[in-house]
Homo-oligomer: A and B are copies of this chain.
């Protein structure tokens, strides 16, 4: 029998890191040669999870195995961009690669899949491991799926929300009444935030609004705002903007208010999953971390909106109010009509143009966007005690029509770094009606998908303008939709998809 001493057993392998300049999105990948000693003696295999140490720093990553000598030297470990930026350091730094400890918290995800409930403790450990980068993409996908549909009860949602707040930054304000508004989304073009914030801020309420970029949609509020002003503000900058102008419209991702949510979203997004529990935790964790005390939440309902029935809207509403109340904030929901896109533009710059028309009281301004924004601003003004119940609408309208809102919007843009005009796309294509008839239905998801295929939100000028609201009458050959793109390929792709979708609009 061979006798091995402790030195052999505890030996580690000295390796050197190398940036391979491979972009794997946010997945952390490391590359090792199959003939390297560490790979062989540790018994790794392709897709093993490994722990990479550089001094006191470490990350967990997925292993891709290289069977050639041209990419890496024998003692080199390659890092993908995400792994590189997470680990820090420089080419040639000494690193060690080991097996990670088993991911203990995943056993509670497995238990959840088998119909057991999360506890405060177990969900908090899951969220900590997610934020530490210990979950692989497929483990994240399993976690999100296990929490989707109606699988999270109120107490699990409260626990998840608390756990998400605990791992992020938190903002403090001097005001005892800090308002906010949020929209559940799913309605292309619904950019009311860019109108509500200036109206409300012009009335003196504190509204430190952080918005997200698009998750599954062709534009998020932050994407749209970014076509007019910088949105990547850190917390001190947000504080300065809000102190000067009462409000801001910043990108939430820059301030790490809910880092767990940001990570979950990168897997929710390609899966196209929106779950009640995750949605409530995602929204409220960010509002609470932003220091809000009173929040109005817009829930659009429509056959192709994110929420499709009044029942579902009422359930979500009750969940938001209950979880908010348990965590000490006042939530008021407004259920609105989500049957069709709001305004004309879909895509960051095209939506910004609609917003500017409303702010400037242009004759051509889309009235649906204007009315929705006034309604929500009215609710926020009433909740913020700047108007008596029932009198918020009149105040909001005055502020908008007087130009005070437009003035405030420009001031906020200036405070955030300077106002700019939204860009225009290089290529457009008009879709024309093949039949005559009245528009009786519009598929929002097809609309959103066309805009995304055209390049939105990554290409700010891309998207579409929609010319055929419900009830309008189309003649044969009349344009009902214009696709905007910055490359012929994207224009062609969006067009070919649009042409294949018979349910885009229904005529009668």
Contacts and interface: CB of A to CB of B under 8 A. Distances in A.
A270 to B, nearest CB: 6
Given A488-B8, A493-B99, A23 B142 contact: no
Contact of A488 (B41, B64, B99): B41
B136 A9 contact: no
Contacts of A23: 34, 46, 64-67
A113 B148 contact: yes
A489 B148 contact: no
A2 B42 contact: no
A43 interface: yes
Nearest to A454: B43
Interface in A427-463: 427-430, 449, 453, 455, 458-459
Interface in A26-56: 27, 29, 31, 34, 40-43, 45-47
Contact of A22 (B10, B64, B114, B428): B64
Contact of A45 (B25, B426, B428): B25
A14 interface: no
Contacts of A455: 43
Contacts of A71: 20, 22, 71
Interface string A124-144: 000000000000111111101
A471 interface: no
Contacts of A110: 271-273
A41 B267 CA distance: 25
B43 A493 contact: yes
A462 to B, nearest CB: 9
A40 B459 CA distance: 12
Interface string A475-497: 00000000000011111110110
A67 B47 contact: no
A21 interface: yes
A491 B4 CA distance: 9
Interface residues of A, number: 76
B429 A1 contact: yes
Nearest to A499: B9
B2 A25 contact: no
Contacts of A114: 148-150
A142 B271 contact: yes
A81 interface: yes
A408 to B, nearest CB: 36
A449 B426 CA distance: 60
B492 A9 contact: yes
B270 A138 contact: yes
A145 interface: yes
A175 interface: no
A24 B453 contact: no
A48 to B, nearest CB: 9
Given A21-B66, A46-B24, A142 B489 contact: no
A31 B20 CA distance: 12
A45 B266 CA distance: 13
A24 B328 CA distance: 47
A198 to B, nearest CB: 33
A115 interface: yes
A43 B490 contact: yes
Contacts of A496: 9-10
A325 interface: no
A107 B113 CA distance: 20
Nearest to A49: B270
A85 interface: no
A313 to B, nearest CB: 15
A23 B48 CA distance: 11
A377 to B, nearest CB: 33
A458 to B, nearest CB: 7
Contacts of A148: 113-114
A275 to B, nearest CB: 8
Nearest to A24: B64
A22 B42 CA distance: 19
List the 6 closest pairs (A to B, CB-CB), nearest first.
A141-B141, A9-B492, A145-B145, A138-B141, A21-B68, A25-B47
12 contacts: A1-B427, A8-B492, A20-B66, A22-B31, A23-B65, A25-B45, A41-B493, A42-B490, A45-B458, A110-B273, A113-B273, A137-B137
Given A1-B430, A2-B429, A9-B492, 20 more contacts: A2-B426, A2-B428, A2-B488, A20-B68, A21-B67, A22-B67, A23-B64, A24-B64, A27-B47, A29-B64, A40-B489, A41-B488, A41-B489, A42-B493, A43-B455, A102-B449, A110-B273, A113-B148, A114-B150, A138-B270
